[in-house]
Chain A
């Protein structure tokens, strides 16, 4: 009798354990599934991170993405040509064609100068960097640069750009070393 009871007990324990492990398994799967939905891309990105070797740099070639969505190369948002970051203008293609084949558009967007100042940069590029004569494109380029990338009067020192500040509550108990 005792051994039968023991067997039943053993079996029911087995069934119980099996039942519980199934529940755990289901739970874990659900958590993993949710985790993947939420973090899948980040995990993928993390896995794809690797140390860059000289070999990688040598073999590096810019790639294009096949498929994907339609993208408007001429897209303009808030007056900015998205692809280059330059200010949109009817003559923008002249600027892109003349300037960005040799240097980054950032060299334009981060600088400010008068028409004469931009002219001196063109002369400098012609004297030292092998820039060809720009012909009838030069006045178009200079008009564009002087219009959109003109110096602002900053005085001897500008105020802190308060509009650009991201205000945050400083928790010094957390932050202090």
Chain B
């Protein structure tokens, strides 16, 4: 069995973490999500999504679940790992002042789990003000610097000029980090968490609200160096998320890319070759991406 991916969703109060989680649950595209929240006090799940609540576990439409971890994150994660059927992806919604890297470090302690991504949400309206606040500045800075991807939320609530300014400010302070604008709390699950690898359950109908994003499937012929391809995809400025199987020297390999980081793991069994690459429509360059496997091979040959 492949390791179960775990993503951390962090960011200060009001950044839109709960809105994002609900959006991903509502538009899960066939992925079964397990959501872990710090505490049930601030119940993060929209009432209409809840099917039943029982003994600390909330069942959600589409085979998803939610539970609170309180002071025992590792215990809660272990329980989720042992669930049957196993979820496809675990989301940890961090508290507003939590540092996501330490949560990710705890995830890495558990066999069978893989720390997939740290997504840090920044409120386009508030982030610069919070970052200037005496009490919050260093916490916000630590959160932003620990992100694999920055999600710039409430992008629809500021003017185009303000959005550009805040994006430039983020880019200036965190050069090279992927910044995805999130409008009305909406981002496709495939961009936030990656697509389901092939073969998988059929995704539900794509959401038209997500038309700002585009995906293409890369199907490298023959054997390819998965790590080198991962580096190339992670370095491609148009690719925010990529996920899928390629044929490596020693069998099938599952490749994940999030932001500037990639990860590979040996895959057992038969899988269809194909890596789903997702990015913003105006930045994803299909021709360039399709050329990456050959470029990687050429680079390798040149070594």
Do A and B share a complex?
no
